Structure 1
Amino acid sequence: MLMVAYMNDEALKKTLSTGTVHYWSRSRKKLWKKGESSGHLQILKEIFVDCDGDALLLKIEQKGGACHTGYRSCFYRSIDGKIIGERIFDPDEVY
């Protein structure tokens, strides 16, 4: 798993029409294309729906890191805080 993000109807439609993953930023209240600032795009491969029909799982091809902190995944720490992932880019050089 690389990350967890919110997707509204607009983001889903844009993802399906472009093949590049889009999300809805609830804090900024705007649509965003993953990687639009960093170039670390997510290319859609498949979408799966859970049994309740209220959650999606996207199978993607990740270009670069998924996490804005420079790691491939946002889940780069264990529960005790140990870093278990490898930083693949310097966020100060990207953002």
Structure 2
Amino acid sequence: MEHRNETFENVTVVLDGNDFIDCKFEGVVFNYSGGDLNMANCQMNRFSFQFGGSLANGLYALHQLFGTEGMLQILRGFTDPQPGEIELSPPQP
């Protein structure tokens, strides 16, 4: 479902299978299980995450294998990679 120019406040927002374009999020809980997602030009303030499904299982496995600091280091590699460390690209249709 496409959400355009919407404001979400103090609610749970399911990310899976949705497109968010030019939306605002304030005090929300993002619920994400690893499904398709598109976000463009959105503003976020005060949010938390709730993970489910296979994504939650994968994150839990990383935690079990590498502990909290190890898991955070892996996640930082995706969010703030050093040159040549990792490249992220959206899935090709």
Under TM normalisation by the shorter chain, which class is it? under 0.3
Taking structure 2 as the reference length, the TM-score comes to 0.27
Bigger radius of gyration, 1 or 2? 2
Taking structure 1 as the reference length, the TM-score comes to 0.27
